[in-house]
């Protein structure tokens, strides 16, 4: 179960991040994670931690309107609502400054470009086109309108699989 105290005042777990980060209210959605210092491009920012759950359990937990599920592979999912590092509060953007890289079963968020202090961290959630559509309100010029990927880009290699850029 999610700790209600943590839900009221979420914190980043410093054991899982390389840079000073802060959770604050976001213009995008509820809470967001902000850089408190300069983060250079291609550097690891934070690990997305949580309970490792099966496909069946994922289906059960995905029912609510708010969840922190991150697909690790075809079978496992990480549920950031249980033992999350704070990375679960990083919002989606269609033009993000971080991306997820999966290394030996760990989900690492890596800076896609230099990030200045005070900037909100974002990743592209890349929801599959065949799951229920979630409207995007990221406000970026390149916003595609939904958090889901459009159908035709499904065959493209996922950002997570391009691990070479990880420092």
For the beta carbon of residue 32, count every other beta carbon within 10 angstroms.
18
Nearer to Zn ion, 134 or 143 (CB): 143
Q: Cα separation of 84 and 67, whole Å?
A: 12
Q: Cα separation of 28 and 41, whole Å?
A: 23
**Site map (CB under 5 A) of Zn ion, residues 116-155, x = contact:** --------------------x-x----x------------
**Binding flag, residue 62, Zn ion (CB under 5 A):** no
Nearer to Zn ion, 33 or 136 (CB): 136
Q: Are 90 and 16 in contact (CB under 8 A)?
A: no
The nearest distance, CB 16 to Zn ion, in angstroms, is: 26
The nearest distance, CB 57 to Zn ion, in angstroms, is: 29
Nearer to Zn ion, 76 or 127 (CB): 127
Backbone phi and psi for residue 115, each to the nearest 5 degrees, phi listed first: -120, 130
Looking only at residues 84 through 103 of this chain, which bind Zn ion when binding is defined by CB under 5 A?
94
Q: Are 160 and 102 in contact (CB under 8 A)?
A: yes
Residue ranges binding Zn ion (CB under 5 A): 94, 136, 138, 143
């Amino acid at each position: 179960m999610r700790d209600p105290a943590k839900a009221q005042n979420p914190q980043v777990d410093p054991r899982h991040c390389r840079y000073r980060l802060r959770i604050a209210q976001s213009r995008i959605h509820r809470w967001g994670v902000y850089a408190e210092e300069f983060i250079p491009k291609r550097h690891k920012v934070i690990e997305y931690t949580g309970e490792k759950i099966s496909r069946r359990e994922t289906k059960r937990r995905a029912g609510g309107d708010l969840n922190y599920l991150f697909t690790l592979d075809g079978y496992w999912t990480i549920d950031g609502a249980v033992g999350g590092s704070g990375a679960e509060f990083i919002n989606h953007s269609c033009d993000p400054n971080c991306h997820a890289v999966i290394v030996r079963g760990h989900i690492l968020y890596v800076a896609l470009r230099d990030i200045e202090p005070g900037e909100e961290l974002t990743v592209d959630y890349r929801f599959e086109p065949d799951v229920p559509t979630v409207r995007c309100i990221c406000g970026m010029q390149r916003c595609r309108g939904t958090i889901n990927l459009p159908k035709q880009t499904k065959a493209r290699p996922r950002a997570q699989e391009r691990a070479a850029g990880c420092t």
